[in-house]
A and B are shown apart, each in its own frame.
Chain A
Amino acid sequence: MPQEYRQILKYADEPGYTPDIECYLRHGGYDILRKALAIPPRNLADGRIVTGPDHLRQEVMTSGLRGRGGAGFSCGLKWSFVDRKSGKPIYLICNADESEPGTFKDKQIIYKDPHQLIEGMAIACYANDVHLAYIYIRGEFAEGAKILNRALKEARARDFLGENILGSDYDLEIHVHRGAGAYICGEETGLIESLEGKRAYPRIKPPYFPAVLGNNTGTRIVSISGHVRKPGYYEVEVGKATLGELINDPAFGGGLREGRKLKAIIPGGSSAKVFKAGEKFKIKRRGPDGKDAEQEIELLNLPYDFDSLIAAGSMSGSGGIIVLDDSTDIVEALANISEFYAHESCGQCTPCREGSLWMSKALQRLTHGEGREADADYLMKIADNIPGGRTVCAFGEACSWPVQSFVAKFKDEFVARGAADEENRTRRNAGPTAVGKLPASS
């Protein structure tokens, strides 16, 4: 049975572990930075020199480390895109905007183990010739910003930041930059605009197509919320636990509440496409004979990793699993999600700005007794017309996926709700109270 495997959160919740530098140093803190800065340059046979930073970048590339954001993008590959020849300064920005609903992992690191974040950033900065870096932290984490500022001050005082770090000739400064309550700042180009003192309007960026992926490595912090007995954050080895284990095992979510049955799972933050209880998927997997074969897998047996969830038509996204039991009003749930996206669209692109609002309005009327039987199809039509290259950023997808998946998989509930509302209206209009009133306009 899989257990938690804590690497990043190894000490965070230990009794007596505090966010100050003394405590971090007692637990081996800044040793890796010290080692990284001490890597000597190597001379290759052909006369080229592999510097310490070159070596670190190669190491990260071969390690298979992938980003822990939505896409699980290869970290080494991402670093290889940096233009090091232009002579322009290179900045590193740590995205601590944690804003995807259902996700609460970064907060644990920032509040409980800030020096780990700073050390990690310092190593990444050294590997990439960065001398100025920012932590973009969501505005609501005012306390977290204070904790980070305190930690940065401590690190400077101990010579882990600033000029000539540990006598290595390497200079680095890190500053905290606070957001101010806009979800779209989590989108990387929106974040950069925001850091530059502008509205967080995402920019158009070229699509990247990662060529060779497949191996998962390291751990991942999964946030489980909603209708489970033990909601919380759990660090697991990537791919070692299934969705069902994460939800039901006593080591993790601990199962549903007494007498309840599973209705749906949102597997990777609120924009991930919903799974309906009992769904089965045909997925290519490597069998014991080493050959890839198509296998039928039940929802709860899906390994919780980047690739399996994509193969099942959704994503592990931010690692936020929201569990819905059979007490959930599925129409209300989608109305809630859509209200979020309508509120958070930055407003640059018409399909996203208007579409997210129309969907939210249609769902509001469905949850307020004013629905129509045709609303399910209407919602689907809007959702199908927002994404697919019609918007600047992936928010277009993010606001459509929940609607497309909820309405497709629970269509009967949406249709029934709208039909019931229509029937009620007809009855009201035909009733004695309607006498003398004008007929309802069509």
Chain B
Amino acid sequence: MSDAPLDHGIPNPLREQPDFAIPAPLEAEINELITHYPQKRSASLMLLHAMQEHFGHVSRQAVEWIAAKLELQPINVYELVTFYPMFHLKPVGKHHLKVCRTLSCALGGSHKLHEHFCRKLGLDPHAHGAQTTKDGQFTVEFVECLASCGTAPVMMCNDTFHEGVSEKKADEILKQCQQQPSP
């Protein structure tokens, strides 16, 4: 048996985000969000969103921090991260391409679009689940209906919707991402 830690998707706290710290503006935002609810626990999802927006993913430290803040057990928060598909425990690419695979988009060519991205980025078009390029720049993933079925095929690049995405448009999106200066 190897000494490698078992990976159940639960990040090793010693390796992960050793420099975890909540900057003051984020904490202020979080405190404000908590006031929106008669019970603290209700703020869980909004806090997870705030964390993910700031750090790019939800680390174990973030889960534990939220739990302490809302006076919950870490499992109460952790089980949300594993239930709701939008939260991820590990970093994803800087540009997260989410292609809709549901019926109207499938009829409109979303499988071709997904394949196109995979080929361009050197990923496996037939692999299941999200894939990230080695340089950590792109993640490509199939997602379910994005409520824009009239303009199939539809996708999102991070929080931005792109509709009626032809291969040409797809290439433009990739180019735009690549031209973005690194933060």
Contact = CB atoms under 8 A, between A and B. Distances in A.
B26 interface: no
B47 to A, nearest CB: 9
Contacts of B84: 139, 179-182, 200
Contacts, number: 137
Given A178-B49, A328-B107, A199 B149 contact: no
B83 A177 contact: no
A128 interface: no
A102 B86 contact: no
Interface residues of B, number: 41
Nearest to B156: A140
Interface string A170-190: 000001011111110000000
B45 A194 contact: yes
A320 interface: yes
A139 B103 contact: no
A164 interface: no
Interface stretch (A17-25, A297-305, A336-344): A336-344
B130 to A, nearest CB: 12
B163 to A, nearest CB: 10
A103 B144 CA distance: 12
A142 B160 CA distance: 8
B92 interface: no
B41 A231 contact: no
A324 B46 contact: no
B166 interface: no
Given A143-B161, A225-B152, A181 B85 contact: yes
B23 interface: no
B44 A197 contact: yes
B146 interface: yes
Nearest to B102: A101
B57 interface: no
B48 interface: yes
A326 B85 CA distance: 34
Interface of B: 36-39, 41-46, 48-49, 70, 76, 79-80, 83-87, 101-104, 106-107, 143-152, 156, 159-161
